[in-house]
C-alpha cells in the first residue's frame, strides 16, 4: 500500500468521497467537510474527491470544499483535477465514503472492490442490502428479527402489484386496482400507515397516510424516487438509533433516542444543527438498552454488514413481549454531519470524533482482502 512520510511518520492517503447524484448529496457534502476537519493530518494525507452528477470523480482544492452546495462545486470544476477510475488506486490508499443514498451506498463499494481500494463501506453485499429496505426485511424476518408489517408496491399499468411481508402472507403477490389497493392496505396494516420508497434515504418521500386521497398523493411522490414502494405500519414508541462497528465480532455503541417534532424524523432533524433533540442513552431501563444493542448487532450480522453502520429502530412498549424492538433499517455510511447522534454515542465510549474516524479506518483496512491476479 503506497505511503508517504512526513517528519518520518507514515501517512495514509485518504480520499474523502462526497457528492454524487442522489437526493442526499447535500448531506454528503456536509459529512465530508466534517470528516475532513476531524481526520488527523499528522496521520493522513487528505484528498477531497467530489463525485459529480455523472458520477465522475474530481480531486478538488480545499477552497471548493467550502462552497455552499454541490451545484456550486460543479460550477467550478475547471479548478479541479479529474480522476479516472483507473488511476484512483494510484491516488489514494483508502476511500472514506461520505456518499449517502443511491449510487453512493450501493454502487461505489462495488467499484472500490474492483479497484482493490480499502474503504469504510459495509462491503459489496452490505452496501446493496443497505439500499433496499424490502430485501433487508426479508432477511431480518428470516432470522427471527422484528420489522414493521410491510407491503411492497409496484405500479403495473393502471393497477398495483403488492408483495406482502406479513406473518401469514410472506412474499405472496397480488394485483389490485387503485380503489382496492387502499382497502387492502387499510386491512393489512391498519390506519394510519406509512408510504416511502424502498431504495432511497431514510427520511425522503415519507408520508403518513390516513385516507385514500392521501395514499395516492403519497404514492405519486414516492414513485418519483423508486419503482418499488413500501407501505408499512405506523409505529408508536421511542425512535432509537444505534451505531454498530466491527467485522467478525461487531459491537454496538450506546443507543440514542431521537424524539421527532412531527410524525417522523425529517432530514433536517437528523442532520442539521439545532433541529433535533438527541438523548444518549435513551430514557429506558438498562435491561431494555441491552436488549436493543443485542438486536442491532444481530441485525448487522444478519445483513452481512461490515466496518460500521447506524441501525434505526423503534422501542414500542405496547407490542407483545419479544417484539417490542422493531428494526427499521441500516444506514451505511450514515450521515456524519456535526449534529448527528453517532458522535454522541462515540463520546459515551470516551472517544473523540478523530478517535471514531480512526477506528472506522482501522476496521475498513482489516476488512480489505487483496485479490490475486
Instruction: Write the pLDDT tens digit of every residue in 197-244.
Output: 998 876 788 999 999 999 989 999 999 999 999 999 999 999 999 999
- Tell me what the pLDDT averaged over the chain comes to: 90
88 with 110: CB under 8 angstroms?
Answer: no
Nearest to 222 by CA among 234, 210, 235, 209: 209
Q: What is the pLDDT of residue 373?
A: 45
Where is pLDDT greater, at 107 or 264?
A: 107
Superfamily of domain 133-145+236-366: ATP-grasp fold, B domain (3.30.470.20)
Where is pLDDT greater, at 238 or 173?
A: 238
Count of CB atoms situated within 10 Å of the CB of 269? 20
Segment 342-360 shows an average pLDDT of 97
Confidence category of residue 56, pLDDT binned at 50, 70, 90? very high
CA distance 72 to 65: 10
Instruction: Write the pLDDT tens digit of every residue in 290-341.
Output: 999 999 999 999 999 999 999 999 999 999 998 999 999 998 889 899 888 9
Given the candidates 3.30.1490.20, 3.30.70.1400, 3.40.50.2300, 3.20.20.190, the CATH classification of the domain at 150-233 is: 3.30.1490.20
C-alpha cell at 211: 385516507
30 with 62: CB under 8 angstroms?
Answer: no
**What is the 8-class DSSP label of residue 80?**
S
Q: What is the pLDDT of residue 200?
A: 82
Confidence category of residue 372, pLDDT binned at 50, 70, 90? very low
Instruction: Write the pLDDT tens digit of every residue in 247-282.
Output: 999 999 999 998 876 666 565 555 555 566 889 999
Q: What is the pLDDT of residue 264?
A: 61
328 with 310: CB under 8 angstroms?
Answer: no
CATH 1.10.3720.10 fits 4-119, yes or no: no
Confidence category of residue 2, pLDDT binned at 50, 70, 90? very low
Q: What is the pLDDT of residue 1?
A: 44
| Of the candidate ranges 23-37, 255-269, 310-324, 343-357, the one whose mean pLDDT is the lowest | 255-269
Domain ranges of the chain: 4-119, 133-145+236-366, 150-233
C-alpha cell at 299: 441485525
Amino acid at each position: 500500500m503506497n505511503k508517504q512520510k512526513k517528519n518520518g511518520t507514515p501517512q495514509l492517503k485518504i480520499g474523502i468521497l462526497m457528492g454524487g447524484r442522489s437526493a442526499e448529496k447535500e448531506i454528503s457534502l456536509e459529512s465530508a467537510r466534517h470528516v475532513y476537519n476531524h481526520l488527523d493530518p499528522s496521520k493522513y494525507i487528505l484528498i477531497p474527491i467530489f463525485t459529480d452528477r455523472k458520477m465522475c470523480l474530481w480531486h478538488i482544492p480545499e477552497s471548493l470544499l467550502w462552497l455552499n452546495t454541490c451545484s456550486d462545486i460543479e460550477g467550478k470544476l475547471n479548478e479541479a483535477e479529474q480522476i479516472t477510475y483507473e488511476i484512483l488506486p494510484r491516488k489514494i490508499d483508502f476511500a472514506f465514503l461520505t456518499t449517502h443514498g443511491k449510487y453512493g451506498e450501493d454502487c461505489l463499494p462495488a467499484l472500490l472492490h474492483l479497484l482493490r481500494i480499502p474503504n469504510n463501506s459495509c462491503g459489496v453485499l452490505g452496501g446493496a442490502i443497505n439500499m433496499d429496505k424490502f430485501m433487508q426485511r426479508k432477511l431480518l424476518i428470516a432470522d427471527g428479527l422484528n420489522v414493521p408489517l410491510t407491503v411492497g408496491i409496484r405500479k403495473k399499468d393502471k393497477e398495483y402489484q403488492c408483495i406482502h411481508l406479513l406473518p401469514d402472507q410472506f412474499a405472496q403477490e397480488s394485483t389490485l386496482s387503485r380503489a382496492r389497493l387502499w382497502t387492502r392496505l387499510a386491512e393489512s396494516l391498519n390506519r394510519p400507515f406509512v408510504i416511502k420508497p424502498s431504495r432511497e434515504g431514510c427520511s425522503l418521500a415519507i408520508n403518513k397516510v390516513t385516507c385514500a386521497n392521501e395514499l395516492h398523493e403519497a404514492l405519486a411522490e414516492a414513485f418519483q424516487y423508486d419503482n418499488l414502494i413500501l407501505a408499512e405500519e405506523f409505529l408508536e414508541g421511542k425512535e432509537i438509533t444505534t451505531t454498530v462497528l466491527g467485522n467478525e465480532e461487531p459491537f454496538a455503541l450506546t443507543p440514542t433516542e431521537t424524539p421527532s417534532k412531527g410524525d417522523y424524523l425529517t432530514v433536517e432533524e437528523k442532520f442539521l444543527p439545532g433541529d433535533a433533540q438527541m438523548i444518549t442513552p435513551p430514557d429506558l431501563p438498562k435491561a431494555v438498552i441491552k436488549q436493543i444493542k443485542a438486536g442491532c448487532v444481530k441485525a448487522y450480522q444478519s445483513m452481512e454488514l461490515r466496518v460500521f453502520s447506524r441501525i434505526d429502530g423503534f422501542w414500542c412498549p405496547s407490542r407483545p413481549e419479544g417484539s417490542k424492538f422493531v428494526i427499521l433499517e441500516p444506514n451505511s455510511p450514515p450521515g456524519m454531519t456535526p449534529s448527528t447522534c453517532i458522535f454522541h454515542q462515540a463520546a459515551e465510549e470516551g472517544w473523540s470524533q478523530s478517535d471514531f474516524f480512526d477506528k472506522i479506518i482501522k476496521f475498513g483496512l482489516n476488512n480489505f482482502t487483496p485479490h490475486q491476479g
